[in-house]
Structure 1
Amino acid sequence: MANDLLTAESTNAAAYSVSELAGALKRTLETTYDHVRLRGEISKVTRHASGHVYLTIKDDKAAIDGVIWKGNVSRLQAQPEHGLEVIVTGKITTFPASSKYQIVIEAMEVAGVGALLAQLDRLKKKLHAEGLFDPARKKPLPYAPRTIGVITSPTGAVIRDILHRIRDRWPCRVIVWPVIVQGDAAAPQVINALRGFHTDPAVPRPDVIIVARGGGSVEDLWAFNSEDLARAVAASTIPVISAVGHETDTTLIDYVSDRRAPTPTGAAEMATPVLGELRAFTADLERRRQGTMARLLETRRERIALLARALPKPLDLINTAQQRLDYAAHRLGGGLLQNLNLHRTAYARLSGRFSPSLLEREVQLKQTHLGQLGQRLDLAVSRRVTLAATHARLPELAKRLSEAFARDLRQRQERLQRLEQLRTSLNPDRPLDLGFARVNRPDGALIKSPVGVSSGDALVLTFKGDQTLGVIAGEGGPPPAKPAPKPAAPKPRSSAPDQGSLF
């Protein structure tokens, strides 16, 4: 240690750089104060994007900077918060870039129960401001659950009390998800159990979940004050009953759960009805139903009896009807005889109308009417024949019309051919198609006769397809000079064109 410190004598002997001095101080502090415990209040907490946490620990007289490396943040017993009184463990070192000393924190715990309660109070206020304690968001418990999920330690009296109470009250399926209920790993295991009941396909989905633990101190129950666990309970779509500790113990999940039970046994009673009481209740309902039906029948019977007093006696109704029947039977014989006489008189009257003379006159009238109908039928048939003969000429007229159309079409085709021949004959380029050529001067003037053309004049011959050839008059061959430019084609005329001189 003494060798690392730079004394005045060594400075007089040799000069050291600043980095060497900073390194010597760093080694001296880390060797002397490699394991220290400090108690103080946290302030200026900064969580860097790299995952490291920078803070300051102070008391009423002094302050020291601290750093928590990324790998140690998740392993801390208590997370750093502004104003929290803690006890930290670490080593003293320096930061050479700014000539400051600091403590590298490896462990952190809350200093005393009062600080834990203060931290819990801050969490309560935070979650309450977010609405997680709102009674309107709490889900109702099912009346008769078929499956109950229990998250607790598999050993101890808590799980035995819950199973015994459920078996006595309401025998149903109970799924126990074993977890530890104390320490730093308790909250993550309970969160994993809650999510497993929601998402694990191998586990039947329960109708209600009980999170249970026996009583203990504030430190023992501190895992159930985890903010992450409280949010997981609040996010559960299955109703959750909190049964942590005794009746006087209160944890954070008691506020966000759907129901809070004073004890684990009370949670079992909240989650299940009493089968015996339910049977007694249904038996009482059956007795009340039977009594109500008996009273209803008796009331209806009395009402029918009262209504029957206002009705006539059945025998009186029958006697009156019997008397009417006897009266009708007495009059039936005379009525039948009178009806027979009426039908006999009507028959005699009708038979008189059908004498031979009347029948003969009726036949004559019918024959006359039949003859008139025959004449009308003959006239209709003759008109029909005439109309049919008229319709028979239609094919002949159609044939004549088709022949007329054909003749007109042929005449128009012949006229069109003559017009096409005339158009062809009037085409100014037709002589060129026959082997002739058009003679022009280099300036495009058309030459119609040899008059005015001297020997040695340059001429341009235009052949079929607008092919041109320059010649010299009187020599019969192309000039040695380059060919003359192509003359402009003459504009066509409406009448037969003047072809000029042709070779």
Structure 2
Amino acid sequence: MSDLFDDAAEGANAPEFTVSELSGAVKRTIEGAFGHVRVRGEVGRVSRPSSGHLYLDLKDDRSVLASVIWKGTAQRLRTLPEEGMEVIATGRLTTFPGQSRYQLVIEDIAPAGMGALMAMLEKRRQKLAAEGLFDAERKRPLPYLPEVIGVVTSPSGAVIRDILHRLRDRFPRKVLIWPVTVQGERCAPEVAAAIRGFNALTPGGAIPRPDLLIVARGGGSIEDLWGFNEEIVVRAAAESAIPLISAVGHETDTTLIDFAADRRAPTPTAAAEMAVPVRADLVAQLAGLDERRVRAQAQRLQRSVQRLRDLGRALPRPDALLGERRQRLDAAGLRLPLALDTFAQKKRVALTGRTGRLGPQLLTGRIELRQNRVEALAARLPRALERRGERARAELARLRLDVRPIARAAREGATALGRATRALDTAMERLARERQQRLAGAERMLQSLGYMETLRRGFAVVRDAGSGALVGRAEAARGLPALEIEFADGRVAVSPGGRPAPRGPAKPEGGQGSLF
């Protein structure tokens, strides 16, 4: 009987749970006991996936607490956690059954005291400085006198009134105000959007693009100015293509935007003074420069006039310089017509002499003579070669040598000579034709340029009847006993008194060659 009814094991009647039931019971127990807690610790690993949630660890010297900040909560936080930062996190403790662990769902997180906040600020500053955002080489000079100034600040505070009042006193300029929240959660994104919005304006568009930007805010605590320490604002200031002045807080306040800006102003009023010069000072400076210019011009003009007078006294009188040249010009003008007539007459006589010697018969005769000589030599050449061949054969026969190769070479030479003779005849005929064509062209040009063509147009040539010399002036004709006038169809002898000279009737000339 004892074998049939063994004692039950200890705890065998305990209730059984599924895994999910047990995980749910643990979750309810933890959330019920730690529904709202505040935890102080150092931020360890921080993960930012694309979902927008933040996963981080809170740790001390002995333990680590996994934590999560949902996307909606993270967007509302004034300060995002960074690794190494000591914080105070507020939230509720819960479990994650999928991995059998518990975690803190953070609803608010803040630095644990001023020391932690400053340590985080210094760490961020070093990080951005390592990227080169604060380098002096990136900073641009401010425009001397901007036409349009863009101001990023709150439209309702005293800062904008101070800036506008200072600009109006120094040098009035156009001012564009981009209203932003300068404190709280919305500060950093609005300031960054304003800087990028001013840079996105098109030059020359409906809204003018500023030549200078001023980011301004009044004084406050480090928490109040924290929006200007955010990375998004610092990067927007460093990327700005428009020169930017940072005027956040009072002189003792320092934010990260001051390092990224092109210039830092201790106060918003000082920023307005950096932006524009004093108009009254410029007017006075221009007046002084204009006075110096007028005085310098007057002195230079006076020195130039005196110098000109001194040089003028050393110059000779204009009449003395031009008198001799006027006389030479007059004398040359009197000689010019006679010189031109004499030159033209000499050229006509030279042309007449050359045209009289030229003629087609001369060139044709020379060509025929050369052709006859070539033909005579060509006719004599075969006989001469034959005689030379006979002598060579006789000499070879005398020496009892075989002359057949020589005879064959002689025949081949005679054949080649015949071909050369025919080619020579063809070349001579072509040369003769070319020379005849050129001669005919020269004859036509001679006929068109000769003086006979001029006579056919109604002109005449006057000569001394005794010597045959040309007479070109009336004064020379009066002193001659008889003249001879040549027309296109013949010559007429006359006396200077107008009566024909007793030389018989005029005989028509047959052509240009009859003059010589």
TM bin (shorter chain): 0.5 to 0.7
Residue aligned with 1:176, SS: strand
Distance 1:206 1:246, change over 3 A: same
Q: C-alpha separation between the residues in 1 aligned to 2:504 and 2:189? A: 120
Q: What residue number does 2:93 align with?
A: 92
Q: What residue number does 1:108 align with?
A: 109
Q: What residue number does 2:297 align with?
A: 293
**1:82-231 to 2 correspondences below 5 Å:** 82-199=83-200, 203-231=207-235
**1:375-386 to 2 correspondences below 5 Å:** none
Q: C-alpha separation between the residues in 2 aligned to 1:273 and 1:180? A: 29
2:77–2:108 Cα contact (<8 Å) kept: yes
1:149–1:210 Cα contact (<8 Å) kept: yes
Q: C-alpha separation between the residues in 1 aligned to 2:282 and 2:503? A: 99
Q: C-alpha separation between the residues in 1 aligned to 2:153 and 2:179? A: 6
Q: C-alpha separation between the residues in 1 aligned to 2:512 and 2:192? A: 114
Q: C-alpha separation between the residues in 2 aligned to 1:362 and 1:82? A: 141
User: Deviation at 1:175?
Assistant: 1.6
Q: Judge which range, 102-111 or 353-362, deviates more.
A: 353-362
User: Does the alignment pair 1:235 with 2:239?
Assistant: yes
User: Does the alignment pair 1:37 with 2:38?
Assistant: yes
Aligned residues: 346
Question: CA deviation digits over 1:379-425, x for unaligned, max 9?
Answer: xxxxxxxxxxxxxxxxxxxxxxxxxxxxxxxxxxxxxxxxxxxxxxx
Which letter does structure 2 place at the counterpart of 1:222?
Answer: W
Q: C-alpha separation between the residues in 1 aligned to 2:298 and 2:12? A: 116
- For structure 2, the residue ranges without an aligned partner over 5 or more in a row are 1-9, 329-472, 485-492
Q: What residue number does 1:275 align with?
A: 279
What's the TM-score, normalizing by structure 2? 0.60
User: Deviation at 1:347?
Assistant: 5.0
1:149–1:174 Cα contact (<8 Å) kept: yes
Q: Judge which range, 94-103 or 141-150, deviates more.
A: 94-103
Residue aligned with 2:221, SS: coil
Q: What residue number does 1:402 align with?
A: none
Query: CA RMSD of the aligned region, Å?
Result: 3.4
Q: C-alpha separation between the residues in 2 aligned to 1:363 and 1:264? A: 126
Q: C-alpha separation between the residues in 2 aligned to 1:81 and 1:324? A: 103
Q: C-alpha separation between the residues in 2 aligned to 1:185 and 1:324? A: 97
User: Does the alignment pair 1:349 with 2:479?
Assistant: yes
Q: C-alpha separation between the residues in 2 aligned to 1:59 and 1:86? A: 11
Which letter does structure 2 place at the counterpart of 1:349?
Answer: G
Q: What residue number does 1:62 align with?
A: 63
- For structure 1, the residue ranges without an aligned partner over 5 or more in a row are 1-8, 329-342, 374-503
Residue aligned with 2:510, SS: helix
User: Deviation at 1:208?
Assistant: 1.2
User: Deviation at 1:164?
Assistant: 0.3
Percent identical: 53
Q: C-alpha separation between the residues in 1 aligned to 2:97 and 2:324? A: 134
Residue aligned with 1:368, SS: coil
Distance 1:204 1:344, change over 3 A: closer
2:53–2:68 Cα contact (<8 Å) kept: yes
Residue aligned with 1:79, SS: coil
2:38–2:89 Cα contact (<8 Å) kept: yes
User: Deviation at 1:127?
Assistant: 2.0
Q: C-alpha separation between the residues in 1 aligned to 2:225 and 2:509? A: 128
Distance 1:151 1:10, change over 3 A: farther
**1:439-478 to 2 correspondences below 5 Å:** none
Question: CA deviation digits over 1:423-463, x for unaligned, max 9?
Answer: xxxxxxxxxxxxxxxxxxxxxxxxxxxxxxxxxxxxxxxxx
User: Deviation at 1:11?
Assistant: 9.4
Which letter does structure 2 place at the counterpart of 1:221?
Answer: L
Question: CA deviation digits over 1:291-322, x for unaligned, max 9?
Answer: 1101211221332243245345x5xx76x799
Q: What residue number does 2:509 align with?
A: 368
2:482–2:495 Cα contact (<8 Å) kept: no
Residue aligned with 1:104, SS: strand
User: Deviation at 1:35?
Assistant: 1.1
Q: What residue number does 1:383 align with?
A: none
2:171–2:277 Cα contact (<8 Å) kept: yes
